[in-house]
């Protein structure tokens, strides 16, 4: 297995690395990476339902769709991401227990008693430390997961939406769990030491395991993939299943009710009850992208002081 520690902390680029190595190489890989603050959603999720849109927009935290399924997770520089990209046999490709077992063994070597629980989580004392997801491509499988080491748990909680009941959709939903940082279980270890320890653990598992770096040509191809796919609104917001939003809000002391139907990221139907002003505004939102800045632009053309946060 070829072991790769990415120097990049760009979540767009690092997600593109997984797809590139899965589809363009034949070897087995372990990829370790750390990202700047971002919300990473599953392939079949609705971005606005999973992320707290108002908070992430205000704090410039990107929401990025990955190619694997599963639920939404928060990344920052206190979270270690691991990816196993392997040749696999058809019919035996999806196996969360199999691919998390080596991670459990690594944590055990550090004195941490982690257990596989539920469908795809690793937990310590009932608290989640790792979420995992998989994607199959022909004879290869991508299994990737997170390891919360010293993450900003306050930002994690604020970035992920707590109440998604206003959204009606067939999209995959997340399964919120109580979380903890591994640093609390490994006193005296830094994030860099934790990363090095995991890399050394896997390098020691066999003589065929070796450390590599991306080639210059690969870096360029991955950068192009990040730009053409992972940085685009079409992939991150428009790709997901259609959804309806039914939400109450107050404006100028009056109760309002907002109904939206969004498909391919575009507002197809919109009705706002509660005032003539909002009823007329609703008509102008049809055909608009369901994005904060786009809706603000429409509302500003009507009246500058209308706040659009309740549209998400």
Q: What is the pTM of this model?
A: 0.94
pLDDT over threshold 80, residue 71: yes
Which strand ranges, in their side-by-side order, compose the sheet holding 63-65?
63-65, 38-41, 73-75
**Residue pair 160/74 in contact by the 8 Å Cβ criterion:** yes
Rounded to an integer, what distance in angstroms lies between the CA atom of residue 34 and that of residue 81? 6
Structural domains of the chain sorted by starting position, each given as residue range(s) with its CATH number in brackets = 2-233 (3.30.930.10), 243-311 (3.30.390.50)
Q: Across the strands, what pairs with 143?
A: 84, 134
pLDDT band at 176 (very low <50, low <70, confident <90, very high): confident
Question: CA torsion, points 102, 107, 111, 117, in degrees to nearest 10?
Answer: -90
What's the CA gap between 26 and 31, in Å, rounded? 14
Mean per-residue pLDDT, 280-285: 93
Of all residues in the chain, the percent with pLDDT exceeding 90 is 84
Q: What percent of the chain has pLDDT over 70?
A: 98
pLDDT of the residue at 92? 62
105, two tokens: 């063994």
- Least-confidence region, from 145-154, 185-194, 302-311: 302-311
pLDDT band at 237 (very low <50, low <70, confident <90, very high): very high
- Pairing between β-strand 210-211 and β-strand 2-5 as defined by DSSP bridges: parallel
| Structure-block tokens of residue 175 | 């399964």
CB 279 within 8 A of CB 293: no
Give backbone dihedrals phi and psi of 7, rounded to 5 degrees, phi first.
Answer: -80, -25
- Torsion region of 219: left, alpha or beta (phi above 0 gives left; psi -120 to 50 gives alpha): alpha
* Closest by CA position to 225, among listed 1, 26, 10: 10
Average pLDDT taken over every residue of the chain: 94
Does the pLDDT at position 275 exceed 70? yes
Q: What is the DSSP letter of 65?
A: E
* 97 confidence band (pLDDT: 50, 70, 90): confident
Give the pLDDT confidence of 13-26 residue by residue, as tens digits. Answer: 999 999 999 999 99
Output the pLDDT for position 95. Answer: 78
The residue to which tokens 């939404």 are assigned: 72
Q: Cα separation of 232 and 312, whole Å?
A: 20
């Amino acid at each position: 297995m070829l072991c790769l520690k990415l120097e990049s902390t760009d979540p767009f680029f690092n997600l593109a690395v997984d797809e590139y190595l899965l589809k363009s190489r034949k070897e087995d890989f372990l990829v370790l990476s750390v990202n700047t603050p971002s919300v990473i959603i599953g392939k079949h999720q609705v971005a606005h339902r999973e992320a707290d849109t108002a908070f992430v927009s205000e704090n410039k935290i990107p929401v990025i769709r990955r190619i694997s399924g599963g639920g939404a997770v928060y990344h920052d520089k206190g979270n270690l991401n691991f990816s196993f990209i392997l040749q696999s046999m058809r019919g035996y490709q999806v196996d969360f227990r199999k691919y998390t077992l080596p991670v459990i063994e690594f944590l055990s070597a550090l004195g941490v008693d982690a257990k596989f629980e539920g469908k795809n989580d690793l937990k310590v004392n009932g608290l989640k430390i790792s979420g995992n997801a998989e994607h199959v491509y022909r004879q290869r499988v991508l299994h990737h997961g997170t390891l919360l080491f010293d993450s900003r748990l306050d930002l994690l909680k604020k970035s992920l939406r707590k109440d998604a009941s206003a959204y009606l959709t067939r999209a995959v939903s997340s399964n919120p769990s109580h979380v903890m940082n591994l640093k609390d279980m490994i006193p005296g270890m830094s994030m860099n030491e934790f990363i090095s320890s995991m890399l050394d653990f896997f390098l020691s598992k066999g003589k065929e395991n070796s450390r590599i770096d991306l080639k210059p040509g690969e870096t360029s191809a991955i950068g192009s993939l990040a730009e053409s796919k992972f940085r685009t609104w079409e992939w991150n917001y428009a790709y997901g299943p259609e959804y309806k939003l039914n939400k109450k809000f107050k404006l100028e002391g009056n109760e309002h009710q907002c109904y939206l139907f969004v498909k391919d990221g575009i507002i197809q139907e919109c009705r706002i009850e509660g005032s003539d002003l909002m009823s007329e505004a609703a008509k102008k939102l049809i055909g608009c992208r369901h994005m904060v800045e786009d809706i603000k632009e429409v509302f500003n053309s009507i009246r500058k002081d209308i706040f659009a946060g309740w549209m998400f």
